[in-house]
Structure 1
């Protein structure tokens, strides 16, 4: 993306103008939740002030809420590449939706069945399946990680797949180190043995185009607050599963899709903001066409730009002797990772380094960021690491700022 394009994007995010301790804030905390454009805040406010009601009533604001929800299902279907909007369900967050889904799926498992999870994942795509398997008497197997570059060990995955495998749960990308998983291949291999595939696209969705139709996955979840929207969870599933699995639900709740998977009264104002976030992502393409076509064009620009940020950050981090970078550092493999970096510094513990950066207006995360399976595998507990995460509103100058601070510690 040319500099003027990035500048136009940044102008839409009021938070980017804020200062701290006399410094312009650098938001490198995106993996825990991105900032939002003004249009998202406006959509939330407009809904609350002018359309606020529950659904399926006979009066105007309720009918307006029904229409907004229809728009939201269609918008998310476009974002995920789903063919039908009724296959999209909303919930409190990805974790809650995954727990609900895991309980329903566990009812179809029996003793001796196997579930595959990954050591590269956020715990929200690990513990729900482990707990559900325990309830059903199923066996959990962990797909190993190549420690040298924090990628999924595909040979280990193939060796653990069998006719007993009922579910494979993996992330599209690591929220800790940015590694991108070959989810289309994983899905194909899992389907060959009759297993279902659940994908966690929470960390992937701000950075690259999700395509459930192309990948062939059976189920997928993500969270709007990671792609410039409010705190809303999203679940996609293939029709047969969404219609035949028995969710834990209230008796008056609908049996038809998507309502049977949407527990309780929804966060309507947040969902209005989800539509605005997707519209933002579509509009920054500057292209004409359907919303899905616009999203494809936008994400192509985002990927290309973020790879330049990744290359600059990696080039700088790997040149600092006191810094250890976990994950892919080869500049020839930029297409295998996102602009998310976990590091450790020899002189400061992760919490100390995060606090030091924060005082200078650079906001980063420390700890394990709920990627506990990976930090345990890497031997980083209990302190974890420091995560620097960028999205398309970050800039090369911001990369230079954090690198200059880190160099100054030597």
Structure 2
């Protein structure tokens, strides 16, 4: 039985309905197909494995051809969608402060030689200190953090990093634009606590004077030696409250990893074998829009838990458990997408004919995001024909 106040439920329904209407307005070309694809992403049972599975969902009333056509030829007004996401209710710290986290997550495409604009993405391998550089599309994501133990964040932006991009410069511009949208949406006003931005190592942010914080963990049973963690804060004259706020916000920054895991393992963000990076951007924003609807539906969701799962109090469900009941919520919020028109599939390529227009092969960007040249690994032989996968 839900313990949420009826007024809160009505407000949550209104927020979900308004955002769905605004999302549909942002889909400027092939909007019906893209909107129903987003609904299928929200309502499909279990993790998303392939796009074809989404085409079979009842919420997607069109064929798989319309699904791929929407991703490949559709258009999304990303600027308007960014403003819509920035205007949604956002989590705040105990003092009312907005805390933003920035991190990069790769969409790995190691064998997709027909995909342009791939760069070498840093990935962690098994074992301590192991890492690999794998071709793919890296995305810089900005999210607002909650307080306490949670797997929720509020994703505000995603930018694909092109080969040779300066991560520090791109991230700085991205953060500035996100904050400008938050100010325009009324999320921050003069006199409010300053917005705190949390970044991991590797961004080369300490270019001006600031405060260095040494964080030491007294007991860590899994390791024999406890190494200190060094943090840098752009402010000076730090008080004890400032220091506590910095290291606590830094630890909360790892909540973004939960969001990446949900995107990839449950919502299937990196599952489609899309050839065009522009189609990958459209799919990325559909995933962000779906996640935003899950966050708005938290007070409305019913705990459809598995027999082995522990009960969760209202408004404390994980994103995956909120998604289980979204199909029931969708019926109440409605869909602005129009009904599909009857059509006949095209004849396709004649049986037995060969493809005389093979796709163009693209090399992986030889410049890392840090600006350094990347040398070909020794096990990559020059002249070997790559396996065609997309």
| TM-score bracket relative to the smaller structure | under 0.3
| TM-score normalised by L of structure 1 | 0.27
| TM-score normalised by L of structure 2 | 0.28
Higher Cα Rg: structure 1 or 2?
2
